[in-house]
Amino acid sequence: MASYAVWLHQQHKADLIREIDASLLQAARSLKFLLAEDFHDRAVDTDSIAFDEELRNRDAVNRFAAESGFTWLYTLAEKDGRFHFSAPTVSEEEAVEQTVWYFHPYDDIPDEFVRAFAEDQPAFVEYTDQWGTFRSAALPQVSPGGRRYLACADREIGEIRSVIRQSVVQSVLVSGFFLLAGLPFMLVLICVFRTHTADLNRMNAELQAHRDNLEKLVQERTAELRLETQRLQEALANVKVLGGLVPICASCKKVRDDQGYWDQLERYVQTHSDVLFSHGLCPDCTGKLYPNLSP
């Protein structure tokens, strides 16, 4: 909340400063319309402007400053690197203190104004003295005859700063109100979020358990398949297969081997495979050999 108040203060201040700067520049641009068109072509030294013309200029500038709400409006003429007031506002106290203000030297001119004159760019400066806090603008201008000068405007901004501070306080109070008003809703959201988080954690734990169990089953089944494969491979390694064309005697049923020898069928099969024969008599042979045993 404090950060928001600071941000709001900066934004509000920046907006007001932009508005003030725009009004200062507008006032500075307007000064040339209050003076004779060739005034700054003639305002070159202390004797070039008559006192009557100075009074007319002073009256016009004072009236414009009072109507527009500016503290000081003035133009500055440059001569030999020094700046002089050529058409300034003059208060009653200043008029009593000094009769002639035309071409009065401006010895404590801000450095920003000097750079503005040299670089032909407007400048702004903010300062505080015994009369208050002010913001000033200096706008480089050129007379019809080509002489360069500065048109300046000052505005008191102490009251504006007070308004900004009040605005910040109001913003803090409003933010605090909405924070307190929204606190129950935030607590409900926190509870809902925590419940939802707990459900998600439980579901994740169940999914992890299922995943672990599935991985275990896969590992067990894989081990079983490997064992079965090993057994099949061992069985296949022990199998001997008879193949090809085997010559056999049509009468005695002897079989000829690869070396050309004739051998008994059962011996040939036993030699070329893992088959073992057991001897017995079929019913036909039993009748021939043992007729008395025939049923």
| Structure-model confidence comparison of residues 169 and 73, the more confident one | 73
Does residue 155 have a pLDDT over 70? yes
Does residue 108 have a pLDDT over 80? yes
Give pLDDT tens digits for 284-294.
777 777 787 65
Give pLDDT tens digits for 171-224.
556 566 666 777 787 777 788 778 878 777 887 777 687 677 767 866 887 888
- As a whole number, mean pLDDT of residues 255-282 equals 74
The full DSSP string for the chain is -HHHHHHHHHHHHHHHHHHHHHHHHHHHHHGGGTS-TTHHHH-SSTTSS-HHHHHHHHHHHHHHHHHHT-SEEEEEEEETTEEEESS----HHHHHH-S--TTEE-TT--HHHHHHHHHT--EEEEEEETTEEEEEEEEEEE-TTS-EEEEEEEEE-HHHHHHHHHHHHHHHHHHHHHHHHTHHHHHHHHHHHHHHHHHHHHHHHHHHHHHHHHHHHHHHHHHHHHHHHHHHHHHHHH-----S---B-TTT--EE-TTS-EE-HHHHHHHHSS--------HHHHHHH-GGG--
- As a whole number, mean pLDDT of residues 9-28 equals 86
- As a whole number, mean pLDDT of residues 149-164 equals 80
- Domains along the chain with CATH numbers: 2-179 (3.30.450.20), 246-277 (no CATH)
Dist CA 120 CA 150 (whole Å): 10
- As a whole number, mean pLDDT of residues 23-40 equals 96
Q: Report the pLDDT value the prediction gives residue 294, as an integer from 0 to 100.
A: 55
Q: Report the pLDDT value the prediction gives residue 102, as an integer from 0 to 100.
A: 97
| Structure-model confidence comparison of residues 225 and 94, the more confident one | 94
Confidence of residue 161 (pLDDT cuts 50, 70, 90): low
Contact yes or no for 86/103 (Cβ under 8 A):
yes
Does residue 19 have a pLDDT over 80? yes
Mean pLDDT of the chain: 83
Distances from the Cα of 47 to the Cα of 1, 42, 98, angstroms = 62, 10, 17
- For the ranges 222-231, 233-242, 275-284, the maximum mean pLDDT occurs at 222-231
- As a whole number, mean pLDDT of residues 123-138 equals 89
Does residue 109 have a pLDDT over 70? yes
- As a whole number, mean pLDDT of residues 2-31 equals 81
